[in-house]
Each structure stands twice: as C-alpha cells, then as structure tokens.
Amino acid sequence: MPPILIIGSNSFSGSTFADFALRQGAQVIGASRSVEPNPAFLPYKWHDHTNFLFHNLDLNAHLEELEVLVHERKPSYVINFAAQSMVGESWQNPGDWFMTNAVSTIKFHDVLRKCDFLKRYVHVSTPEVYGSCSGFVDESFPFNPSTPYAVSRAAADMSLRTFRSAYNFPVVTTRAANVYGPGQQLYRIIPRTILFILLGRKLQLHGGGISTRSFIHMNDVSDATWRIMMNGQDGQTYHISTNEVISIRNLVEKICEKLNVSFDDHVEFVGDRVGKDSAYHLDSKKIRSELAWQDKITLEQGLDDCISWIKSNLEVLKLQPFDYEHKP
C-alpha cells in the first residue's frame, strides 16, 4: 500500500488513527509541530509498529519543508488532524487560531491540489461550525459558528468547497462529536475527571454541566475515518457520531460511580465559558448507510478503557500538565 501522510500525528486523534492505519498494514508518515510527547499519549507507540516515520514539522513555520516531504514520499492519502482546537481559549488569541486553522491550512491545501499522485485528502473538521443546535443535524445543516475557533474552522471548510468546484480537488470532510479514549490530553473532560478523582483534586464543572454531548470512542472514529479515506465520495462530508446523548454532569456522575466516590465531594460548579454551545448532535445515517460503519464501543466500555489507561500510567500522568498550554 502506498504511504499515507498524517498531519497532526501527535494529537490524540492523529496518533490513535496512526495506530489504526498501521494495524491495517499501511506505511504511515507522521508530521506534527511538536516533538513526540511521552509515549503514554501516543497509541501508535503501544504496539510494535515498524512502518511509521515521524517528522517534526509545523504547518505555520515549515510549509516549504512539508511540500518537499509530500513530493518526495508521494502519499496517496493525506489526513489532516492539525488544528488549534481549544474553543474557550480561542477568544484570548483569535489570530493564532485563524493563522493555523484557516491561513496555513488553506496554503497547505493549495500545495496538495497540485499533486497528481494524491488519491484523496481527508479534512478533519468539527461540529462546532454549526453552532448550537437542537436535535440531530445532518451534513447539509448550515454553518452558524459562535466562537473564533469555530469561525476559523468554517473558513477552511468553505475554502475547500471552492477548491473542489474549481480544481476537482479530491477532498472528503469528516466531523466527529466529542471524541475520547485512552491517550487523550489531560485537560479534556473525561481524562481530567478520572485523574482529578484519583489524585483527590476538585473538578470544576462549567455552567453546572447541563450541556449535552454525544461522546464517541476514538477507535470507532478511526474505523470510520479509514472507511471514508478509502471509499468515501469526493466532495462529500461525513458525520461520525453515536446516538447516545448525555449531559456533562451525568457523565461526571457516571465516572464517580465507577470510581466509587461521591460526586459532591469531588466537583465544584463555576460559570460557563463565553460562546459555549449548549448542544450539538450529529446525524450519522450517511456513513452508516454508504460505508456500512457502526459504532461498537459503548460509553460504559469506553470509560472503563480510559480509567484503565490512567491507572496504568498514573505515575507518569500525574507529572504532566493538567491544563491546556497555548502554543502560537
């Protein structure tokens, strides 16, 4: 199989998909702006893979080097997980979010659209572009972004529509809601809750935890992404989601039950974040019908996975930063 290139291979989603792709027999080239973190955060390092090659390259600073890499290795597939991804923090430095998620990403697209060896580009987007919505929305739902993060992602998505129309660019777009699993960054709600409880720290719950989400295990997302990469229709967008909906408060309560601790003893309520969407739930009928995908890992099983991962790596994880650290 020709090599595939994963941009953002150090990210939780990128590294988990890299592991999945390697287990399918793919040659994988990874590129991320940061050096590889502790192996506890890199699922592709948890197995004995030999077909992975990493490059420390930043979309913002090393576009020319990335272009050289693309032309040297000629990947058939490019999957882009790279993005400034924190929603609340995007209000503090919006220019950084627009530079990475829009300007540099679109420049990279302009490099790829000239590559005649590229079979397909998989653009990993976000349901945040829809803003807050009631009910389950399908891929035709109009954009209504409500944060700098969401606007920056919507800009790249809309640009890709023009690239598809003007250049017949072989792009498919994915949107997954609230991905989680072993290896996720510690500032995300599921690993943070588990870790804080195990360390005896209080968890701050924004807005009372009334927001509802559909959490989906990254292994299911990786399976979906692979199917979309191989057999999706160019120019199409695919939602990757479960139909299981839960409030953030109920999620934290469920974790407390699994760890046999009192919710009231481990949680404090704080004000909500600016521009936070109360709900976004994705209709995933399209990928289920077209590509025969289905989610297989229940939230109960997934939470057990995460608890096991954190307990197994507790001595390492408790020394890592617990909060998001912004990099321009």
User: Is pLDDT of 143 > 60?
Assistant: yes
Other beta carbons less than 10 A from residue 323's beta carbon: 8
Q: What is the DSSP string of 178-224?
A: SEE-TT--TTSHHHHHHHHHHHTPPEEEEGGG--EE--EEHHHHHHH
Mean pLDDT (whole number) for 238-252 = 94
Inform me whether the pLDDT recorded for 258 exceeds 70. Answer: yes
**According to DSSP H, which parts of the chain are helical?**
12-23, 63-73, 94-98, 105-112, 148-167, 189-199, 218-231, 248-258, 263-266, 285-291, 299-312, 314-317
What mean pLDDT is reported for the chain?
Answer: 94
What are 270-325's pLDDT values in tens digits?
876 655 555 668 999 999 999 999 999 999 999 999 999 999 999 999 999 988 88
pLDDT at 207: 78
Quote the pTM value. Answer: 0.95
Query: Do residues 112 and 74 lie in contact, with contact meaning Cβ atoms separated by under 8 Å?
Result: no
Could you tell me the two tokens for 87?
A: 């929603």
pLDDT higher than 90, residue 68: yes
Rounded average pLDDT over 198-226: 92
d(CA 315, CA 268): 25
For the segment 86-110, the average pLDDT, to the nearest whole number, is 95
Residue 134 has pLDDT above 80, yes or no: no
In this predicted structure, what is the pLDDT of residue 327?
77
Question: Hey, CA dihedral for 78, 85, 302, 321, is it positive or negative?
Answer: positive
274-287 pLDDT, tens digit per residue, is 555 556 689 999 99
Is residue 269 scored above 90 in pLDDT? no
Domains defined along the chain, listed by start: 4-179+215-240 (3.40.50.720), 185-213+244-277+299-317 (3.90.25.10)
> What is the C-alpha to C-alpha distance for residues 199 and 318, in angstroms, rounded to an integer?
8
> pLDDT tier at 37 (50, 70, 90 boundaries)?
very high
Residue type at 17 in one-letter notation: F
Q: Is the confidence at residue 257, as pLDDT, over 60?
A: yes
Do 217 and 177 meet the contact criterion of CB atoms below 8 Å apart?
no
Comparing CA positions, the residue from 43, 187, 299 lying closest to residue 195 is 187
Give dist(CA 199, CA 74) in Å, integer. Answer: 47
